A and B are shown apart, each in its own frame.
Chain A
Amino acid sequence: MTRSTSTHAHAIVLGASMAGLLTARVLSEHFSQVTLIERDPVADRPEARKGQPQTRHLHGLLASGLEIMTRYFPDLMEALEAGGAIVGDFGENMRWCTYGGYRQRFTLGSKAALMSRPFLEYLVRTRTLAQGNVTLLDNCAVRRLLTTTDRMRIVGVEVEQRTQDSAVTVLTADLIVDCTGRGSRTPQWLAELGYTAPVESEVKVNVGYATQIFRRTPSDDYARDWVLITPEAPRETRFGAMFPIEGDRWIVSMGGWAGDHAPTDPAGFLEYARTMPTPDIYNMMRQAEALTDVYPYKFNSSLRRHYEKLTRFPAGYLVLGDAISSFNPTYGQGMTSAALQAAALDELLMQRHGNLTDIAPAFFKRAAKIIDTPWQLAVGEDFRFPQTTGPKPAGIDLLNRYVAAVHRATLVDPEVGRAFAKVMNLMAPPPSLMTPGMMVRVWRANRQLRQRRPLLETVLAPLKQ
């Protein structure tokens, strides 16, 4: 990685979860010192913290996310595999049931990673902190921003140490990046400083997930399958996933839209698995030893804060990751979106030789472009359910009719599967699914499928007992 020609003295990153760590890693190239401030105590081991409850749930790292992270942490893939995580081709390993059948397998040509989220974060954290110029202040909550007297520039933060004496310290920096996730207080802080808070798009989905971890027997013939079941919405409302992770374990997350939440008692959770259109998850759960309780997670709405639309924004300050946008994790794109945003910040700082003047509008514009795709995919699926409410993109119902045909086509044509996987992995933009060539494939596959439909059902029937 090339360093910027002008290096600033100090950067502060608020929040030491995935977006914060990646941002700190990027900024370590451009600043002499980087300080990460995290409210939770951070232990030197893989552990889900209070401030990031979602990390107990199934987290896959998509191909482009892994590719970017490997750029910043060259030994990440080896470290993942050495720790027992599963690294492999997304298309070859995924056993993905949707629209009444399994998608054809294909070779994507890029690797994705499955592991527990705390393990991935642990590897990223230890490598970021090994950077030499990155320091972590844990057990410290950011309370407010400090500005110049004209309030045009953010110059520091007030931090409360969460020890008995609750000491308050002030830290100053040339750049501060808010990575405190969805609960980010930047909108309120901006308003308090006399700025306009960003306009928000909120799409209410009322999704309820639950997760449980099981022992995995590596000798089982299905032990390396990545099982994913996504609904043919709105007819079906449930999704399920069962991924192999480190420590010879399975992580199972299941859930449903529009209030069709997964139960959180083990018996109810098992029964929920039985209602899935394929028995893959149920069969495993019936035999395997449960290693944890069932953890719930309520995801009420996808939220996007349109920082790119603001005309006034203080200097010396940015927002990144879930703090800008958190979307329904249907396609597991949150960490990859954060990684792409961090890489975009790196590129921007390189292009500008570290010049921070007016960096906010330039960065927010790039971040918005990155977020557009996962937002469109997640919210597009959500609007298949009539109960979903919020700002509905123009013509989305029409688009969804084509996307449904694409999903069906993946059951017979691996090329369509590959094209869809590229979009989902944030490696290609959605219009790549709409070229005349792709439309021909989708059309042909759907025609073929109509003729084969009864056959598919007879194939699936004996699997369900």
Chain B
Amino acid sequence: MADYAFTTVWRLDAPVAAVWTAITEVERWPLWWRGVEAVVQLRPGDAAGLGAIHRYTWKSKLPYRLSFAMETTHVEPYRRLAGRAQGELQGTGCWTFAETGVITTVRYDWNVQTTQAWMNLLAPMARPLFAWNHDVVMAWGGEGLAHWLGAHLLPETAAVEQPERQMSNN
């Protein structure tokens, strides 16, 4: 298995409630997030969305699609949203929200493994490529979210570079 750990931070001049709504309404992601091809609900969650399962299909810079299902495991409005991924990627993803003055900071921590044999086999070669693809998709997400909310992505929000993301090869 090849492990990947990514952290992205977006800072926007938008209220946390608006950002929270945009992020939690995952079925609408394809409307503003370039690279998200489809989000389909497989199982509804409770009133807060806990336990919901969605299937995500991504098509970005790489010449193939990536698909996985994600179950919501933690919902803490305006603060934290976490889930577990199963499929071509498996692992955990966690959104953390913070509002300071007029600025909302969203952080996404993505700790996953690739499950497909070829991806694992090629990890030494493909690692920078997958990481690049992730960076591009997250950059699109940040820009798309800002545009969707009529806000600005503040310049110092670029993805937190963790070149040595303790990426183990096996």
A residues with a Cβ closer than 8 A to B are: 393-399, 401-402, 405, 431-432, 434-436, 439-440, 442-443, 446
The secondary structure that dominates the B interface is helix
A80 to chain B, nearest CB (A): 35
Which residues on A sit within 8 Å (CB–CB) of B124?
443
Chain B residues near A439: list those with CB within 8 A: 118, 122, 125-126, 129
- From B64, B121, B122, B135, give the contact of A395 (CB < 8 A): B135
Q: Beyond A395-B131, A439-B126, A443-B124: 11 further Cβ-contacts under 8 Å?
A: A394-B132, A395-B132, A397-B163, A398-B129, A399-B128, A402-B129, A431-B63, A436-B64, A436-B118, A439-B129, A440-B122
Can you give 22 contacting A-B residue pairs, CB < 8 Å?
A393-B136, A394-B132, A394-B138, A394-B158, A395-B136, A396-B132, A397-B163, A398-B128, A398-B129, A398-B132, A399-B128, A399-B132, A401-B128, A402-B129, A402-B132, A405-B125, A439-B118, A439-B125, A440-B121, A440-B122, A443-B124, A446-B125
Contacts of B52 in A (CB 8 A): none
Is there an interface contact between A395 and B133, defined as CB atoms closer than 8 Å?
yes
Q: Name which residue of chain A comes closest to B133, CB basis.
A: A395
- Chain A hits for B121, CB < 8 A: 440
Contacts of B75 in A (CB 8 A): none
Is B134's CB within 8 Å of the partner chain A?
Answer: yes
Query: Which residues of B have CB within 8 Å of A434?
Result: 61-63, 129
Most-contacted residue by chain A among B62, B132, B135, B159 (CB, 10 A): B132
B145 close to A (CB within 8 Å)? no
Known: A394-B159, A397-B163, A402-B128. A431 touches B139 (CB 8 A): no
- Contact yes or no, A436 B61, CB < 8 A: no
* B136:A435 contact, CB within 8 angstroms: no
CB distance from B107 to the nearest CB of A (A): 17
* A311–chain B nearest beta-carbon distance, Å: 14
Give the 4 A-B residue pairs with the shortest CB-CB distance, closest first: A395-B135, A398-B132, A394-B139, A395-B132
State whether B122 touches A436 (Cβ < 8 A): yes
The verdict on A402 contacting B63 (CB below 8 Å), with A394-B136, A395-B132, A395-B133 known, is no
Which residues in A have their C-beta under 8 angstroms from that of B136?
Answer: 393-395
User: Is B135 a contact partner of A431 (Cβ separation < 8 A)?
Assistant: no
A436 to B126, CA, bound (A): 9
Residues of A within 8 A of B135 (CB): 394-395, 398
Rounded to whole angstroms, the CA-CA distance of A442 and B138 in the bound complex is: 26
Residues of A within 8 A of B128 (CB): 398-399, 401-402
The residues of B that contact A395 with a CB separation of less than 8 Å are 131-136, 139
Q: In the complex, A345→B35 CA distance in Å? A: 28
- Cα distance, A444 to B115, chains bound together (Å): 21
User: Chain B contacts of A393 at CB under 8 A?
Assistant: 136
CA distance A394 to B128 in the complex (A): 13
Given A434-B62, A435-B63, A436-B118, the answer on whether A443 and B125 have CB atoms closer than 8 Å is: yes
Q: Please report the C-alpha to C-alpha distance between residue A401 and residue B128 in the assembled complex, in whole angstroms.
A: 6
In whole Å, how far is B2's beta carbon from the nearest beta carbon of chain A? 13
In the docked arrangement, what's the CA distance between A164 and B143, Å? 55
Interface hub of A398, A431, A436, A439 (most chain B Cβ within 10 A) = A398
Chain B residue contacts of A432, Cβ below 8 A: 63
**Contact B134–A402 (Cβ < 8 Å):** no
- B153 to A: closest C-beta gap in Å: 12
What residues of B have a CB within 8 angstroms of the CB of A446 in the complex? 125
Select which of A398, A405, A440, A443 is within 8 A of B131 by beta carbon: A398
User: For residue A432, which residue of chain B has the nearest CB?
Assistant: B63
Q: Which of B6-65 contact A (CB under 8 A)?
A: 61-64
The interface residues of chain A lying within 8 Å CB-to-CB of B132 are 394-396, 398-399, 402
